[in-house]
Each structure stands twice: as C-alpha cells, then as structure tokens.
Amino acid sequence: MSITVVGSVAYDSIESPAGRRERCLGGAATYFALAASFFTEVRVIAVVGEDFGPEQEAVFAARNIDTRGIERAPGKSFFWEGSYLENLNEAKTRNTELNVFAAFEPKIPGAYRDSEFLFLANIDPVLQRRVRESMPNVKLVAGDTMNYWIKDYRPALLEVLKGLDVLLINDTEVRMLAGNNNLVQAARAVMALGPRFLVVKHGEYGATLFLKSAPGGRGAEHRAPALPLEEVIDPTGAGDSFAGGFFGYLASQLELTPSAWRRAMFYGSVMGSFACERFGTERLQQLSRPEIDARFQVFRDLTHLD
Ligand code: AMP
C-alpha cells in the first residue's frame, strides 16, 4: 500500500530551551513522509523554491521517498519560525512566509494515482481540498491542520473536513475548531463536521482516538501515552511524525481492525517521541526499524496492566 501526502516542505528556524537552529529542513509533509517511510511507500506533493538543493533532496532519497510530485518554482521555499521558550508543548509562531506555496497549483503525477491512502498534511485548506478532489478513489483519507488555518481560513477548512475519514489535530485546536472547551464535546462536534475518526494529540501527554460511531457516545475511545522523555530537544514535527507513524502503520496493514487502529496510535507515539530527541529531522534521518520496534515494546510495558 502506498500513501500520497500533500503538505509543506519548508525551512524552519527553531528556538527551544536546548538552543537555536536556523533554516533547517522542515515542513509538515517532510516529517510525515520520513516517519511513514519506515512502514510503507510514500509519495510527496509539494512545492519548493530555488533554495532547495541536493542536500535536502538527499534526505528524502535516503528513505526512498518518491519526490516526483515536489515541484520547483522560482522564489523561496515555505519558511516558518517558531519558539518553545514559553511552552515545550506548543510552538509560538514568530513568522510564517508562504513564499512559493502562495501560488502553488498541485499537480498529481500519474505514478501517484494508484495510492490507496492520502494524507493532507498541514497546509492551506484550499490546496488540501484540490488534492483530495483529484484523488477520488483512495481508500482512506486523513488530514491535519493548525490554528493558523482554523482562525482565518475556516470556510475552506470546513470543506476539507467533509472529505476526511480521519482528522488528526492537537487538543487546543480541536477546542478552537469546535468553540467548546470540553474535550469530549469538542470531539463530537468536530466529527459532526465530517471525519469518522478523530485523533486528538495532547503533546507530552499522548493522544486520544475518538470514533464517531461509538455506541452511546462513550467506551470506544482509546488513549495512547507519550513516552516521558528525559530531555526534549525540539518538539517541532512531533505531531507530523505521530501522523506518519499512525497512518504509515495503518497503510501497512491488510485489514483495519480495531486492534490495528490501537496499534497505529502507539506507532504514532513512538515516532513522535523520536522526533523530539534532536533538532529538526535529525533523529528521524538516523533512525532504524529495530529502534522503532524496541520503543514500541517500551510503550507496551509502560501501559501494561497485569
Ligand atoms: P508540528 O508537527 O505541528 O510541530 O509541525 C511543524 C511543522 O509545520 C514545521 O516543520 C513547519 O514548517 C510546519 N508549519 C508551520 N506552520 C505551518 C503552516 N501554517 N502551514 C503549513 N505548515 C506549517
């Protein structure tokens, strides 16, 4: 099974209590693709500028990620600057420059058309919707978004939600989207807008899976913990890496049983925990499958009851 992902491929400048990095490779689609590539074949749709060179290209190539859908355009790549000095759980955006994404017209390579899974990573909902509409035959569609788009691009975002099976979003954003501070009520309100499954990410406290069809509204939720880390170097991309582990694992399964969904939540947490251990994509670039499996076991032990 293969996943096509559309989202930002970017340069990030990041400040955390562990230090500062200027213009490292980032972007929601980048983190997602790297994390998912440990589980399944991944194809990326994005646009980059003239500042995207062989060094960045090599990061994708090393993980066998298909980049034929990454267009090169005159101008600069998407740029984001964020800080975690006030709160390690939530980035404070200092600057967002859409640059080449402002005029992006996504084109889907013919070779991507047989993807069964589609992930609409964080980017302008108008672009997410265009890609969704161009791939009507996919088996499962998941998506992500953030406060930036919820605040000022709501009508376009509501259109995207109608076409999603799964929405992954963090807990302050689900409350913001629903206009309701109670997590369960907010989750129900957001699922009424489209997605059948909702994954709410709680940063260092894990993530909760909600199902729209849960009888009586309760009982079918599942919560996966996050690994308590001794040192969080840089949480950038933890959410996208969670999504990559989660969706990548689902795409690797023959059948999407309830147990596959629960395991996917754990693989999401595993990948999110690795992403935090170094700045930018550094840790994901050095990762191996045995390390992923060993950490999955740590998560099992962390939550085992008997
Ligand atoms: P997260 O997993 O939520 O930490 O995502 C971090 C990534 O999202 C960074 O690498 C940024 O380049 C990217 N990003 C930040 N703001 C936006 C935005 N408004 N649209 C798309 N991508 C963004």
Q: From ligand 1's centre to the CA of 144, what distance in Å? A: 10
> Which residue carries 């935090």 as its tokens?
276
Contact in structure between 178 and 147 (CB atoms under 8 Å): no
Name every protein residue with a CB atom under 6 angstroms from any ligand 1 atom: 8, 10, 12, 26-28, 31, 80, 96, 122-123, 146, 148, 236-240
Task: Give the number of the atom of ligand 1 that is nearest the alpha carbon of residue 170.
Answer: 3
In the CATH hierarchy, which top-level class contains the domain 3-303? alpha beta
Nearest residue (by CA) to ligand 1, atom 9, is: 27
Q: From ligand 1's centre to the CA of 216, what distance in Å? A: 36
| pTM beyond cutoff 0.75 | yes
Task: Delimit the domains of the chain by residue range.
Answer: 3-303
Residue-wise burial string across 207-224, b where 16 or more C-beta atoms lie within 10 A, e elsewhere? bbbbbbeeeeeeeeebeb
Q: From ligand 1's centre to the CA of 14, what distance in Å? A: 11
Task: Give the number of the atom of ligand 1 that is nearest the alpha carbon of residue 30.
Answer: 10
pLDDT in tens, the chain (306 residues): 999 999 999 999 999 999 999 999 999 999 999 999 999 999 999 999 999 999 999 999 999 999 999 999 999 999 999 999 988 888 999 999 999 999 999 999 999 999 999 999 999 999 999 999 999 999 999 999 999 999 999 999 999 999 999 999 999 999 999 999 999 999 999 999 999 999 999 988 999 999 987 555 555 688 998 888 888 999 999 999 999 999 999 999 999 999 999 999 999 999 999 999 999 999 999 999 999 999 999 999 988 888
Q: Rounded distance, CA 45 to CA 31, Å?
A: 13
Q: Which of 34, 80, 173, 277 to mutate to test the pocket of ligand 1 (most atoms within 8 A of CB)?
A: 80
Nearest residue (by CA) to ligand 1, atom 19, is: 148
Burial of 90 per CB tally in 10 Å (0-12, 13-18, 19+): middle
